[in-house]
Amino acid sequence: MTDYFEVHERDGAARLAELRLDSPVTTPALVTDADRADDADGAGQGPDAAPEAGVAHPVLSDPGSGWATEPDAPEGDDSRLTILPARGFPAGTPDEVQDAFEPEYPDVDFPSAAVVSATTATDHGTDAYVLSGAHGLAGHARAFVDAMIGVREAIPPDTALYLPGVATPANVATLVYAGVDLVDADRAVVRGTQGRYLTVDGHQFLEDLDELPCACPACQQPREEFDREDCARHNVNALAAALKTVRRRIRDGRLRDYIEGQARHEQWLTATFRRLDQQYAYLEERTPILRQAEITAATEDTIRRVEIQRFAERVTSRYRNRFDNPLVLVPCSARKPYTDSQSHGQYHDAVQWRAHKVSMTSPIGVVPQELELTYPAQHYDSVVTGRWSANEIEFVANVLERYLERTDYPRVIAHVPEDYRPICERVEESLGTEFTYTVEDHPTTTDSLGNLASELSGELKYGKRERQHNTVRAIADYQFGDGAGDALFDDLTIRGSQPGLQAHDGDGNQLAVVVRPYGTLAFTLAGARRWVESDAPTKRVEIDDFVPHGSVLAPGIVDADESIRVGDEVVFEGPSAFAVGRAEMTGPEMARSSRGIAAHIRHVDERD
C-alpha cells in the first residue's frame, strides 16, 4: 500500500503521476540524490557543482548497501524517497544467489523504495521500486522488455518504478513507454565526461562538432571553450528537456505517435517497442479503449498498435451484420467520419440504403457503417501515397477475410480503386468467392458511380428505423461482447438522430445514448440494471458501504472485473449504492491500488 505515489493519467504502460513528497514531483521525472544536490548547492552552482543540479529533483536518499551484516533501518522523512538498504547484484547474477540474499524490508512510515531484480521482484509494501542491474539491460531489447514486464506485473500498479543508470535523451521516451517512472542522469553525465554529446536522435563525439546544435544554458558559449564538463551539463539538460516532451505526449495521449518516429534513431529502441507490440496482453491491459487524441498512422508499425489490433479483433469476433442487403466495399476518406466526406456522400447517393457499406482502410482494416464513429475509426490520419505496402495488404486482407467468414451477405460488390484490388483478389482466392467490381478508373467518376447504382437497381431499401436499431446493437456488440446488442436491446425504440441516438425500451425508459466523440454507448441507471440482468458480458465493480458522488476512489473498491479497461462503461454495486460510470483505471488496478480515481460516476441510486 502506498501513501506517496498516485497515478493521474495513463497512456499505455506510461503514466503521468505524482510522487507525493513535501514538494510533490510530477513523474516521469529526472531525480538525483538529495545529498549530492546539497553539496552542489554548497558549491554555489560553480564549476564543481553536480551537472544535474537545478535540473533533476533532489529527492533520493540512499543510505547504501551492506554485505557483512544486515543494515539497520534508515531514518527518513516526507521530503525524500528513501531507498531501503539492500545488497546490490551485478547484471547476470544467478537467480538462486539473489534469492539467497532476499532482504526483509522494514515497515516504515516515510516514502520508501525497495531494490528488486528482474526475476525476484515482488510486493514489499513500498512506494517505489528500484530495478537493480538495469544498466545491463540497455541495448538488449529482449532482456529489457522481459524485465520490464516481469517487474511491472509483480509490483503494485500504484507504485513508481525507478530505472537507474540507463536514461539518455534518445532512450528516455522508450523507457517511459515501457513503464518506467523515475530515471537519473548518471549515464548522461558519464557519456558527457567521455566526450559524447547526446541528443534525442543519438550522440556525436565532441571533437567532431564544429558548432553546438543546442540552445541550452551549457551551450551558450563559444565552441572552443566548451569542454567535457560542459558536455555533461548539456547532456543532463537534453535529458530533462526530453522528459518534458514525454510528459506532454502522455497528457495528450500521443506518446506512441512520438515513439514510432523518435525511437528509430537507435536500433535497440526500435527493436524494443516492436517487442513490446508482441507483448499484446501487457500493453492491451494498460491502453484506454477510447480517447479523443488522433492516431497518426505515419509508419507501418502503427498496424501493431493496441488500438488498431483491438478494433480489428472486435470487428471480426463481435460484430454481426443485421442487414439482408448486399455488401458494398468502398475506400476510406481523408475526412472523418467517412460519412462527412464528399466521396462517401457520392457513394451514398449511388447506394441509397440498398446495400450495407463497409470501408476498407489502412491501418484500421474494415469499418462497418454502424461503427464509423467508434474509436479509433474516426480518430486517425494516415499517409496516402496511392501504393500499399506488402504488410498493409496482408493486414487489411486478413481482417476482411475474417470479417466475411463471420458475416453473411448475398453478394459482395467492391467499389474500390485499382490499388485496393490486390486485397480483394487475395480474399476472393482464399474464400473461393467472387466479388463484383464497379470502378472504371476512379470510384467517384460518373461511370463508376453509375455502375454501382446499376448493380443495386433491383435491391430494396432498408428504412431509417432499421438503420438506427442496427447501429445501436452493433455498437453494443463491439463495446460489450458478442451478442450484447440483442441481449440488451430486444425491445428497442430509438429517439433522437444520428449521431446522438437515444435507446429506449418499449415502455419509454431511456437505456443508453450514443456518445458522439467516441461512438460508444453510455448507460442510464435503467440501462445499467438491464445490463446486469441480461446475458451480455458485464463489467462490474464491487464497492464498499458508501454512496459515491462524482467519482469512486481506489480505496473504496472491494473487487473489480479483470477485463475492465480505462474508458470502459462500468456498473458499481455495494451495500448502499448502485451506480454506473466510466472507468479511469483497469480492473486489476482498481483491485490492487490504494490511491487514485478509479472511475467517474454518471448516475447513482442510493439503496435503502
Question: What pTM was computed for the model?
Answer: 0.93
Q: What is the pLDDT of residue 547?
A: 96
pLDDT tens for 548-601 read 999 999 999 999 999 999 999 999 999 999 999 999 999 999 999 999 999 999
Cα–Cα dist 459/452, whole Å: 12
Q: Where along the chain do its domains lie? A: 5-285, 295-455, 479-606
Architecture of 5-285 per CATH?
Answer: Alpha-Beta Barrel (3.20)
Q: Give CA 161 to chain center in angstroms.
A: 18
- Reduce the secondary structure of 492-551 to three states and give it as a string: CEEECCCCCCEEECCCCCEEEEEECCCCEEEECHHHHHHHHHCCCCCCEEEECCCCCECE
Characterize the bridge pairing of strands 81-83 and 128-131: unpaired
Q: What is the pLDDT of residue 37?
A: 61
Q: What is the pLDDT of residue 44?
A: 47
Residue with cell 521525472: 29
Q: What is the pLDDT of residue 499?
A: 84
Helices (H), 71-140: 95-100
Q: What is the pLDDT of residue 124?
A: 92
Average pLDDT over residues 307-330: 97
Query: Hey, which residues does 17 pair with through a beta bridge?
Result: 7, 27
Q: What is the pLDDT of residue 558?
A: 96
Distances (CA, A) of 513 to 133, 321, 468: 51, 21, 12
* Residue 195 neighbours by CB distance under 10 Å: 17
Residue with cell 547532456: 235
Q: How far apart are the first and last CA of the chain?
A: 32
Does the pLDDT of residue 370 top 70, yes or no?
yes
Cα–Cα dist 87/106, whole Å: 15
pLDDT tens for 408-427 read 999 999 999 999 999 999 99
Average pLDDT over residues 114-134: 90
For 508-529, letters b (16+ CB in 10 Å) and e give: eebbbbbbeebbbbbbbbbbbb
Characterize the bridge pairing of strands 510-515 and 29-33: unpaired
More confident residue, 499 or 163: 163
pLDDT tens for 200-251 read 999 999 999 999 999 999 999 999 999 999 999 999 999 999 999 999 999 9
Architecture of 295-455 per CATH?
Answer: 3-Layer(aba) Sandwich (3.40)
pLDDT tens for 22-74 read 999 999 999 999 876 666 554 445 555 678 877 999 999 987 665 555 666 78
User: Closest by alpha carbon to 283, among 149, 150, 479?
Assistant: 149
pLDDT tens for 171-185 read 999 999 999 999 999
Confidence of residue 537 (pLDDT cuts 50, 70, 90): confident
Query: Hey, which residues does 403 pair with through a beta bridge?
Result: none
Q: What is the pLDDT of residue 39?
A: 60
**The CATH number, out of the four listed (1.10.3720.10, 2.40.50.100, 2.30.130.10, 3.40.50.10490), of the domain defined by the range 479-606:** 2.30.130.10
pLDDT tens for 417-458 read 999 999 999 999 999 999 999 999 999 999 999 999 999 999
Share of the chain above pLDDT 70, in %: 94
pLDDT tens for 86-97 read 766 666 677 777
Does the pLDDT of residue 261 top 80, yes or no?
yes
Q: What is the pLDDT of residue 488?
A: 95
* Residue 166 neighbours by CB distance under 10 Å: 22
Q: What are the cell numbers at 370? A: 454502424
Average pLDDT over residues 115-126: 89
Q: What is the pLDDT of residue 62?
A: 83
Distances (CA, A) of 231 to 18, 146, 217, 565: 30, 33, 11, 44
Q: Residues 6 or more apart from 252 whose CB is under 8 A from it?
A: 293
